Amino acid sequence: MTSTTEQPGVAGEVRPGETPDTVSPAIAVSHAYKVFGRRPREVVKRLRKGATREEVRGQGTAAVIDTSFSVNQGEIFVVMGLSGSGKSTLIRMLNGLNDTTDGSITVFGTEVVGLSGQELRELRRDRMSMVFQHFALLPHRSVLDNVAYGLELQGVAPAERRERAQHWLTRVGLGGWEEHLPGELSGGMQQRVGIARAFAADTDILLMDEAFSALDPLIRREMQEQLVELQQELNKTIVFITHDLNEAMFLGDRIAVMRDGRIVQVGTPNDILTDPANDYVAQFVQDVDRARVLTAGDVMEPPRAVVPATAGPRTALRTMRDLQTSACFVTSSSRKLLGVVRDKDVLRQVREGGTDITERLRPTPSIVKRDQYISELFELAVESPLPVAVTDDQDRLIGVVPRVTLLAALTDLPTMTTEIPIIEPTPTVSAAMISETLGDAPESAAGAGFAPENEEVR
């Protein structure tokens, strides 16, 4: 499990494969508090001593309480939580739009808490752009000038800023709208202008506060996909606020779940879904569209019905009989998936005295990669009698997704409902007939091994 309920002092969490020594976070937040009210520091003291948000309410609103987390360079970090949980306050603390009552926030190693107004403006101009839920466009400037606005603040020359703004308008699908005023555009189009403006400013960090919430579902989906695409292309660090769990799961490399001003869990979408830290998170995720969060790699099982190409037909047949299945994957010596053999074909081959199963090889009906969402597997699973094969970049068979696993993944049920695993597809030839052909007694499934090839030709 890689998810954490962030612990005090644990600011530099890193992703698998990275080491703390080689990666410095883009943003590190440590024990940060934000209290609205007349005596905020007093409230922090009481919170530190264990007072609850409710208990201090008379003195002020504790919007963000003892929050520690870090955002790695190049990741999409989503902050999710119900309305009022403190998400907007938190994201605005990162760029100084809200001051921080207590604690530390660093951006690329520079402490943000305590910077002057001028320094904060520079930070927002040069390092962190923000996309707001309600666009925040300048109503009397053209669409093009709105997109170029950040560049203007950065002092970029007019010709270059027009060119860059034009480029980004085209990227977000608004070519041709340059000279219009924002008010002439639909909500979805205005949001695209906001996004183009943020990307045009070319800051390393993008802060997005409910940036897609005003969009209708189809456009919203499109924008989510476009954001992921742009992020992969440009390797920006993105902090994205949403109260929509499916959006969080789709976008987030990691997700922080907030409740009543505190972060209650940080983890990958898979961690949050399969290993919620508490009942609150569990309730939150119960309605999530699991098919669009879990990948083939998350749910795949070790392939059982597999024989190497060097195994003869007798071995293949014995394997299928013992596993009570009618098909078997065939792999090369380097575990590359070559295809499948069927029980009927192999039975015939044994009777005919054949020795090379690759002569009876059929193409594998469905093959996916480990990072494909299981929503993409259903059609394949319906069309194919065999479990969906999962291969790596070198086409090696690394797992299978049987239909039962796919269905169980949707509801978080265990896949094993009986003691004996059912291996798809069911036999088309009886075990007795196979045993008679092989001239031996059935072995237990657990004992199914590969006989050396010289046994095959006896």
Ligand X SMILES: Nc1ncnc2c1ncn2[C@@H]1O[C@H](COP(=O)(O)OP(=O)(O)OP(=O)(O)O)[C@@H](O)[C@H]1O
Contact residues toward ligand X (CB under 6 A) are 36, 61, 63, 81, 83-89, 243
- Residue pair 241/88 in contact (Cβ under 8 Å)? The answer is yes
Nearest CB to ligand X, comparing residues 134 and 362: 134
- Cis amide prior to 425 (ω within 30 degrees): yes
Q: Rounded to an integer, what distance in angstroms lies between the CA atom of residue 64 and that of residue 48? A: 13
Q: Give me the least distance between CB of 135 and ligand X, in Å please.
A: 16
Element containing residue 407 per DSSP (H, E): helix 403-411
DSSP secondary-structure letter at 47? H
Nearest CB to ligand X, comparing residues 84 and 365: 84
- 3-state class of 43 per DSSP? helix
Nearest CB to ligand X, comparing residues 64 and 409: 64
CA distances from 390 to 188, 316, 334, 397, 409 (A): 38, 21, 15, 6, 16
Q: Rounded to an integer, what distance in angstroms lies between the CA atom of residue 296 and that of residue 390? A: 7
Burial (CB count within 10 angstroms: exposed 0-12, middle 13-18, buried 19+), residue 354: middle
Nearest CB to ligand X, comparing residues 89 and 326: 89
Nearest CB to ligand X, comparing residues 88 and 237: 88
In sequence order, which residues have a C-beta less than 8 Å from that of residue 310 and are 6 or more positions away? Answer: 333, 453
> Token digits for 200?
């045009």
Q: Give me the least distance between CB of 38 and ligand X, in Å please.
A: 11
Q: Give me the least distance between CB of 44 and ligand X, in Å please.
A: 15
Q: Among positive and negative, which fits the CA dihedral 73, 289, 380, 327?
A: positive
Q: Give me the least distance between CB of 83 and ligand X, in Å please.
A: 3
Nearest CB to ligand X, comparing residues 103 and 312: 103
- Residue pair 67/32 in contact (Cβ under 8 Å)? The answer is yes
Q: Give me the least distance between CB of 61 and ligand X, in Å please.
A: 4
Nearest CB to ligand X, comparing residues 63 and 350: 63
Nearest CB to ligand X, comparing residues 85 and 95: 85
Q: Give me the least distance between CB of 91 and ligand X, in Å please.
A: 8
Q: Give me the least distance between CB of 79 and ligand X, in Å please.
A: 8
> Token digits for 287?
């309605």
Q: Give me the least distance between CB of 405 and ligand X, in Å please.
A: 36
- 3-state class of 361 per DSSP? coil
Q: Rounded to an integer, what distance in angstroms lies between the CA atom of residue 179 and that of residue 162? A: 12
Alpha helix (H) residue ranges in 235-375? 245-251, 269-274, 279-285, 296-299, 313-323, 343-352
Q: Give me the least distance between CB of 211 and ligand X, in Å please.
A: 13
Nearest CB to ligand X, comparing residues 171 and 243: 243
